[in-house]
Amino acid sequence: MGSLSQLKASFESFTLDFKRPSGTSRGVLTQKKGWKLKLTNSEGTKGLGECSIIPGLSPDYTSDEEYEQKLNEVCQNPARFIENKDLLLDYPSILFGLESAYSDLLNGGKGIYFESAKAPSGFLIPINGLIWMGDPGYMQDQIEEKLEAGFSCIKLKVGAIDFKQELKLLEGIRSRYDASKIVLRVDANGAFKMDDAIWKLEELAQLDLHSIEQPIKAGSWNDMEILCEKTPLPIALDEELIGINELDRKIELLETIKPQYIILKPSLHGGFSGSKEWIGLAEERQIPWWITSALESNIGLNAIAQFTADYNPVLPQGLGTGGLYETNFEAPLKIEKGNLLYLK
In sequence order, what are the residues at sequence separation of 6 or more whose Cβ sits closer than 8 angstroms to the Cβ of residue 196?
none
Which of 268, 332, 344 lies closest to 305, judged by CA? 332
Give the active site residue among 157, 200, 217, 250: 157
CA separation for the pair 113, 149 (Å, rounded): 29
Chain centroid to CA 285:
22
Q: Cβ–Cβ contacts within 10 Å for residue 59, how many?
A: 15
Task: List the 339-342 sheet strands across, edge first.
Answer: 123-126, 339-342, 333-336
CA separation for the pair 329, 236 (Å, rounded): 31
Instruction: Answer for the pair 321, 293: CB distance below 8 angstroms, yes or no.
Output: yes
Instruction: Answer for the pair 141, 85: CB distance below 8 angstroms, yes or no.
Output: no
**230 part of the active site:** no
Pairing of strands 339-342, 333-336: antiparallel
The SS3 call for residue 171 is helix
CA separation for the pair 278, 270 (Å, rounded): 9
**276 part of the active site:** no
The SS3 call for residue 272 is helix
Instruction: Answer for the pair 312, 291: CB distance below 8 angstroms, yes or no.
Output: no
Counting every residue written for the chain, the total comes to: 344
Active-site residue numbers?
157, 265
